[in-house]
Amino acid sequence: MKIPEFLDTNVLVYAYDVSDPPKRSVAQGLVKRAVAGEIVASSQVLAEFATTLLHKLSPPARPEDLITILDTLSPIRLVATDHGLVRRAIEARATYGLHFWDCMIVAAAERGGCEQLWSEDLNAGQEYFGVTVVNPFN
């Protein structure tokens, strides 16, 4: 089954960050679609999400609350990180000059068969390996 969209970490973080209600609302809509199986993410996205909530939000999330959130997000189809994905990320780095962790996101979106990558961090409208970045907050 092809899932045409990929959810980047920043969108997932906004869904749980109360500091920007307009972005939170948009992000929550995308997360609901991901939980419903319409949007894919990666294991990296979940790890970055957990790190951000535990260490960068003010106040930081409590571990028990984050575990509950992750359980809620468990239906999201995830692209796993493996040798081939890391290799493709290095190819993305060579081709596009992006930061390595962004290349991992691009490689995961490509592997997931995605046509769109929902992200605020990458250049909206840019295409990487056939995956087009869309900023959901514009």
Domains and CATH numbers, the chain: 5-133 (3.40.50.1010)
**pTM score of the predicted model:** 0.93
Cis peptide before 59 (omega within 30 of 0): yes
DSSP helix/strand/coil, 11: helix
Nearest in space to 34 (alpha carbons), one of 7, 72, 13: 7
- The low-confidence residues of the chain, meaning pLDDT below 70, are 1-3
How high is the pLDDT of residue 57? 87
How high is the pLDDT of residue 30? 98
Residue spans of alpha helices (H) in the chain: 9-16, 21-35, 43-55, 63-73, 83-96, 100-111
